[in-house]
Structure 1
Amino acid sequence: MIDSRTVEVVTDWVWGWALSRGTPDPVREHDGYRIDVGLPEHRVRYVLPDPRSAGPRAAGLSEPGTWLKVCGAPELVRLSPEWTIGAPEHLMSIELDALPLITPPDPYTVELLGTGDVRDAVVRTTDGGCAAKGRVVVRGRAAVIDVVETDPAHRRRGLGSVVMAELSRAAADRGAVRAVLVATEAGRALYEKLGWTPESPITAAHLAA
C-alpha cells in the first residue's frame, strides 16, 4: 500500500507543476493524475504514486510524446523496451518555518517578480543579466518550486541557495506551510543541505517523438 504522505505530496506537486507550466488542470485518474501538456515532444504526462501501476498504465499507451512520472526506483517500474528511462529524480519537501535569509554575494542582486500565487526569483549580474532563476507556485497551504537553474558561467557561487531562499520566503508570505519539488540527482545534494527531505525516488520514462 502506498503511504498517504506520498500521495499528498504528489498531489501538491502535480497541481503546482501544472500551474507553473500553464497547462490545463490535472485530471484525476484511477492510478494517479494525467496532465495534458500539449507539446509535440511532451503531449501528455501521467503521474503515478504507485510503481505497480506503471506497467498496466504503460500497456495502454503508444503515442509518441507520452511521459510517465512514477514514484519508485527504476527496478520497481516495469516497462517494455520501447520506453526510454530518464536519469534518476527525487520528490522532496520542506516545512516552511524559520526560513533563513540568504544574501547574494557581491556583485549579484536578487529580485522577486510577478504577483499573486506565481512568483519568479531572479539573481542579476551587474549588467542586469540573469545568473540564476526559479519559480514558486502557491496553491492553498502548499507550494511547488520549479524551473530552478543557474547559468553555467555563474555556478559554484551559492546562487542556487539564494534563489531557493527567496522562493521559499515568498511562498511562506502567501500562506504556504510546505513546499515540494522534483529534483535531479545533482539538485538533491543542494536541496538536502538547505533542509529539504527526500520523499520518494521518481522514475521518468517517455515514448520518443
Structure 2
Amino acid sequence: MEGIVRAWVDGWVVSRGAAPPVVQPWGWTIDVGTESQVTRHVWGSVGGDVDEAAVGEVARAVTGTGVWLKVCHDPAVVGGWLGAGWWVDPEPGHLMTVPLTGAGEAPDERPSLPAGYRLRTWSRGGVVRVMIAAPDGSWAARGQIAPTGATAVADQVETSQAHRRRGLGSVVMRTLQRAAAEQGAQTGVLAGTEAGRALYETLGWRVVAPLTSAKFVGAERAGA
C-alpha cells in the first residue's frame, strides 16, 4: 500500500509544480510554497500501521500556519493525536485507484459532450489538462492528470455549480484516464472527497484507504 501512497505523492508533486518530496522515516515532506499550503507532510503507512507517536511528534513541531498533514487513516482517530492549533477536515477523504484501460475504447464509446459544450485538451510540463467550456464560452469543468511511469495522478477535477448533473465530470475523467493510458500509465490514483467519490466509483475507481487532511491554523483560530 505504501507504493500507492508514494505514487500519489510523486504525481501530485508534478501536477502542482511542488518541490521534490523529501524522504522522512514516516513518509515524505513536500514544500508547496503557497500561503494556504506552505508545506505538507504525507504519511506512507495506512490505517492501523500509522505510528501515532510519529504523527504527534511532527504535529507538535509545527509552529507556523499553512502546514498540512495527510494521513491515510480515519479523521476521527487522527484528530485525537494532534495538539492545539490543528484544524481537521471533518469530511473524510479517500485514496482511490483504477486500472487505466481507456486507451482501448472504440471511437464510438468515447465520452460525448452535451450540445454546445467545447472540450479542450493540452499537455504542459508533463501534466495533461482538460477544460470544458459552456455554450456561452464560460468555464464549465476542468481536471488534470500527471503520468509518472506506471501510475498517473488525477487532480483538481472540478465542475461549475451551474453545469453539474450533465455528465461533464465523467467526460473530464474519462478523457484524462485515456490520455494517461496512451502515455503508458497502467494505474490511476487520486485523493477524492466524499462528494466526488460517487462519480469516481461509476468510472471504476475504488477506495483503497481513508484519508485525513489536517491544517495548522494556530491556537486562536482552531479554538474559535
Matched, 1:84 2:118: no
Query: Taking structure 1 as reference, are residues 59 and 26 closer, same or farther at Cα in structure 2, changes over 3 Å only?
Result: same
Counterpart residue identity of residue 82, structure 1: G
SS of the residue aligned with 1:63? coil
- TM-score, normalised to structure 1, is 0.92
**Aligned equivalent of 1:195:** 204
- For the pair 1:154 / 2:145, whether they are aligned, the reply is no
Choose between structure 1 and 2: higher helix proportion: 2
Task: Give the alignment partner of residue 25 of structure 1, picking from 20, 29, 40.
Answer: 20
Residues 110-119 or 161-170, more deviating = 110-119
Q: CA deviation at 1:116?
A: 6.4
- Shift of residue 29 of structure 1? 0.8
Structure 1 CA distance for aligned equivalents of residues 72 and 44 of structure 2: 5
Larger Rg: 2
**Bigger CA drift: 165-174 or 62-71?**
62-71
Q: Distance in 2 between matches of 1:134 and 1:108?
A: 16
Equivalent residue for 1:15? 10
Q: Which runs of 5+ in 1 are unaligned?
A: 1-5
Give the TM-score of the pair, scaled to structure 2: 0.86
CA-atom RMSD in angstroms: 1.6
> Which residues of structure 2 form unaligned runs of 5+?
219-224
Return the letter of the residue paired with 2:88.
Answer: I
Q: Which amino acid aligns with 2:3?
A: E
Work out the number of aligned pairs and report it. Answer: 204
Question: Which consecutive aligned stretches of 4+ in structure 1 deviate over 4 angstroms post-superposition?
Answer: none
| Secondary structure class of the residue paired with 2:64 | coil
d(CA) in 1 for partners of 2:31 and 2:171? Answer: 32
What is the DSSP-based 3-state SS (H/G/I as helix, E as strand, rest coil) of the residue aligned with 1:175?
coil
Q: Distance in 2 between matches of 1:39 and 1:186?
A: 25
Same amino acid, percent of matched pairs: 42
Q: Deviations over 1:76-129 (max 9, x none)?
A: 312123211013111001011255621112222322112563111111222333
Residue 169 (str. 1) matches residue 170 (str. 2): no
2:37 is the counterpart of 1:42: yes
> Which letter maps to 1:90?
H
Separation of aligned partners in 2, 1:171 and 1:24:
22
Is 1:41–1:208's contact at 8 Å kept on the other side of the alignment?
A: no
